[in-house]
Amino acid sequence: MDAGIEQSRIGAAQLRGTLLRQPVRSPAALFVHGWDGSAADDFQRLGRLGALGMTCAGFDQRGHGDDGEEHDSATREQGLADLLEVYDWLARQPEVDAERIGVAGFSYGGYLAALLAAQRPLHWLALRSPALYPDRGWRVPKTQLKRDRDLRRYRERALSPAQNGALRACSGYQGAVLLVRAGCDEVLPAQVAGNYAAAFGKARSLEAHVLEGADHALGDPRQQQAYTDLLTAWLMRLP
């Protein structure tokens, strides 16, 4: 394990969390991985942002990482509740400036991060290929949502905040936003990113980027590096 990085169990679900501390009071970044991912997906980015003087945290979502028992039963309701608990845990850390916490989420993690924006103060919000789901079936296991034959058609629709809870959360958000789309995303149609971009009408700032030639998961290490560079440069420009 790298120096300065520690791991602990968080909340009632005993989620495995990873924390890179700073020796002084600092802003913080919380990373939320995608479905079937883990906190390890963002280790490189934790290191990069840690070098900028930020306290950085990630966690294995319920049913992920070393604990896969709840993988097939975990719901979006549980996912958001877990994220709220992790956010609150991070905000309580003595070196964290609780008024300068930002969240970076990918795919399903981006969807949860968007919902979080309506319930906790976020200084910034970075969404990479954020997913979108209908509001119905909130307590249905996440694994079952992919079997919905209408999901692809739903994601291809132009949706307003009045039609979707995640977009509604984004419509009230007033912080800084980075929205990144994979140019060759085989999972999410471009309309999803368009819906998110249109929803951020009150954001302090919005930067939208396309990683040309990239697939949904950024399977090419060069694309992973490009996203890390993009995120780091964007954060360095924020006041």
- Retrieve residue 2's tokens: 């790298």
18: pLDDT strictly greater than 70? yes
- Record the pTM: 0.96
With vertex at residue 76, the alpha carbon angle to CA 103 and CA 169, rounded to the nearest 5 degrees, is 50
Tell me the average pLDDT across 38-63. 95
In the structure, what pLDDT confidence band is assigned to residue 13 with cuts at 50, 70 and 90? Answer: confident
* pLDDT top residue among 64 and 68: 64
| Pairing, β 5-10 against β 26-32 | unpaired
For the stretch 137-170, pLDDT in tens is 999 999 999 888 899 999 999 999 999 999 999 9
Q: For residue 127, what pLDDT is reported?
A: 99
For the stretch 197-221, pLDDT in tens is 999 999 999 999 999 999 999 999 9
Determine whether 202 is exposed, middle or buried from the number of CB atoms within 10 Å of its CB (0-12, 13-18, 19+).
Answer: exposed
Determine whether 12 is exposed, middle or buried from the number of CB atoms within 10 Å of its CB (0-12, 13-18, 19+).
Answer: exposed
3: pLDDT strictly greater than 60? no
For the stretch 106-135, pLDDT in tens is 999 999 999 999 999 999 999 999 999 999
Q: For residue 2, what pLDDT is reported?
A: 44
